[in-house]
Amino acid sequence: MVENTETAGTALSNEPIQPLPPPPALDPRKLALGKQLFHDPRLSRDQKTACATCHNLKLGGADGKPRSLRPGGMATPVNTPSIFNAMLNFRLFWDGRAGSLAEHIQGPMEDTGTDWEVALQRLRQDASYVSAFSAAYSDGLTVAAVQDALVTFERSLVTPNGRFDRYLRGDQNAITAEEKEGYRLFKAYGCTACHQGVNAGGNMYQKVGVMGDYFDKRGDLTPADLGRFNVTGLERDRHMFRVPGLRNVALTAPYLHDGRIKTLEDAVKGMSKFMLGRPIEPREVKLIVQFLHTLNGEYDGQPL
Ligand code: HEC
Ligand code: HEC
């Protein structure tokens, strides 16, 4: 009896993907303020674009568009990544140019066109913000406090306890036999050479098209396609991108930095061709896609 229970409950500790941690303990007042700010369009230049316009928590933390619209009508140069689990990535952005959420929020807010001093003046007109900030921060409503509240909220956006994590923790029934086979193939094909760790990615850079020229096939080269080269100017960084995490990936179509790949099936096929240089059978693509769906997690105790 006891033995059975233990076998069923043994966590799989030597897997290339590890379960997501629970969100860190955070000051509830700062968290509530950050959540409100994240959804507040007054931070943006046109006062119409909130962080959540592009990072919609109901759409997997992204917006379902190939590229998003910035205030003023310009498209973002790249696809909007999910904000969920972002702080678990080793660097931020497709080209890794920001090191942390705090660094990002203090840098130029190109996607919202935010001028922090202008935004602060707007928020100061709102008595409820003024009193809530006085309660949460010793200096009250300041640019630093606004930025800190946003980062606090971002740090809460972890999606633990998905079916795959329950499987890793030892619940054999959390995923089906087909999903297990998909995971086996994911490892056997070598996807885990790049998509690994708690975020199933997000912990290294890799060249897009290591085994074939994706950009030649696609055509229409943009400056953003140069990837990390734009940050370092080094030839070896041409077309280098941060490997994206695959958590909740089934919810964040379209795919890749250019948002050109519409379905998960096509993303898996493309990876096989350009990153591994191997043909893959449709049946195997389907199984891997089934496995990828088990990476959907929970936010605030609810499935995404
Ligand atoms: C117009 C759409 C848009 C808006 C509005 C927007 N973002 Fe983004 N966000 C993006 C895009 C596009 C990227 C990827 C940029 C890149 O990689 O060069 C991104 C990347 C990020 C990242 C890095 C994620 C990662 O894993 O690399 C964070 C963090 C982030 N945004 C937070 C915010 C916050 C906070 C706000 C509000 C102040 C905001 N964003 C508003 C489109 C948007
Ligand atoms: C050599 C490293 C490498 C290998 C191996 C690899 N990937 Fe990727 N993967 C990447 C990189 C880098 C990107 C981002 C490419 C881009 O945006 O242009 C990516 C993107 C993806 C995406 C799209 C994610 C998104 O949010 O847009 C999926 C899905 C994916 N990979 C699945 C797989 C699968 C399945 C395999 C195995 C068949 C695999 N990958 C093998 C590096 C790799």
So what's the pLDDT on residue 4? 42
Cα 24 to ligand 2 centroid, rounded to whole Å:
28
Judge whether residue 2 has pLDDT over 50. Answer: no
Where are the CATH 1.10.760.10 domain residues in the chain?
28-155, 163-303
Q: Is the CB of 261 under 6 A from ligand 2?
A: no
Q: Superfamily for 28-155?
A: Cytochrome c-like domain (1.10.760.10)
Residue 107 — very low, low, confident or very high, per pLDDT cuts 50/70/90?
confident
Q: Which two tokens stand for residue 171?
A: 């619940």
Quick one: which ligand is closest to 84's CA? 1
Quote the mean pLDDT of the chain: 95
So what's the pLDDT on residue 9? 74
Judge whether residue 5 has pLDDT over 90. Answer: no
Q: What is the pLDDT of residues 127-160, one digit of tens each?
A: 999 999 999 999 999 999 999 999 999 999 999 9
User: What is the C-alpha radius of gyration for the chain, rounded to an integer number of angstroms?
Assistant: 21
- DSSP H/E element including 242: strand 240-242
Supply the angle between the helices 28-38 and 143-155 in degrees, to the nearest 10: 100
Q: Which two tokens stand for residue 39?
A: 């959804």
Q: Which two tokens stand for residue 271?
A: 């990876």
- DSSP H/E element including 207: strand 205-207
**Atom 9, ligand 2: which residue's CA is nearest?**
243
Report domain 163-303's class. Answer: mainly alpha
- Other C-beta atoms closer than 10 Å to the C-beta of 178 total 12
Residue 8 — very low, low, confident or very high, per pLDDT cuts 50/70/90?
low
Where is average pLDDT lowest: 37-51, 111-125, 203-217, 264-278? Answer: 203-217
